[in-house]
Amino acid sequence: MPEIQLGCHTVRSHGIKVARVHMHDWLILFLLVVMVIILNVIEPFHRFVGEEMMTDLRYPLQDNTVPIWAVPIIAILLPFVVILIYYFIRKDVYDLHHALLGLLYSVLITAVITEAIKNAVGQPRPDFFWRCFPDGKGVFDPVTLDVNCTGDKTVIKEGYKSFPSGHTSGCFAGLGFLALYLSGKIRVFDRQGHVAKLCIVFLPLLAAALVGISRVDDYWHHWQDVFAGALLGTIVASFCYLQFFPPPYDIDGWGPHAYFQMLAESRNGLQSSTSTNHLMVQHSELESVHIDSQRGMETSSGNIRDTSPILHEVQNNRRH
């Protein structure tokens, strides 16, 4: 594949143009952020939790190994740093814009789906007992046999949001997108047998997996929650990546769709301009030949009609 120069497509020269084309996409991103906030505020479904069910929900309540504020850093900031480094190397604003847009869509769509499922399912966390009864004394309704929680309402609300794991889905959405991005850039599937490239691609996935494992170790999630979150984040990341980039195994998998569309439009415009110039040159040549032929005919006809100096003088007087 021939090397293509991208140095003329920088943020300064083409950034505004590219952003204007996708203005509506950025507005939808803002709406997704609003949806995530709303879904975090509303109360989740309170699933029935009987006394016998508490046997599997008595794990200790402890702090997060990976705090909630670290998830945007891992899922968004870290991949963006890699994308930004690539931009400084190749100076391709199409790649920068579409990679950032795809990354944000991947994380935010995953967050909306995750929070919606959490609220709808209302699955209790493994440490639900201590969230519900911080003093260790269980209180249950004598009729329904459901729990009558005595703990802090905010802590109890969070206790009903186990499935799926938001940390895991968010990290797999962002780092999964990064893994696909790196696969295209370093041409992992070039059939050259460089297995070492896979190690680079697997690093983001390993980091996301470790975040998911920490959720089980902290007793904030069941293993099913983590598995579902990883699957959800990976699927959304794949869809969002393919929306802006060819598959990593494609011969053009190193660049975004928009860049190749721009090249095709430029090539077609150049060809049409060349064709127009060629037709104009042909038309000018035909006009030149036609004028020369007319002049030749006038000269020859003047020589044939009469060579008399008197008649020639009369014709000149008529012209003047």
CA dihedral sign, ordered 256, 17, 75, 124: negative
Contact 248/183 with Cβ under 8 angstroms?
yes
Residue 132, Cβ density class (10 Å: 0-12 exposed, 13-18 middle, ≥19 buried): buried
Residue 229 and residue 169 in contact, taking contact as beta carbons nearer than 8 Å: yes
Active-site annotation holds for 221 = yes
On whether the CB atoms of residues 204 and 182 are closer than 8 A, the answer is: yes
How many CB atoms are located within 10 Å of the residue 28 CB?
A: 12
As given in the structure block, the two tokens for residue 13 are 């020269």
Residues 149, 143: Cα–Cα separation, whole Å: 15
Q: b/e for 101-130, b at 16 or more Cβ within 10 A?
A: bbbbbbbbbbbbbbbebbbebbbbbbbbbb
Q: Which among 9, 97, 98, 221 is annotated as catalytic?
A: 221
Among residues 98, 167, 194, 312, the one annotated as catalytic is 167
Residue 283 among the catalytic residues? no
d(C-alpha 45, C-alpha 239), whole Å: 29
Instruction: Sort 44 into a burial class: Cβ within 10 Å, 0-12 / 13-18 / 19+.
Output: buried
Q: Which residues are catalytic?
A: 167, 221
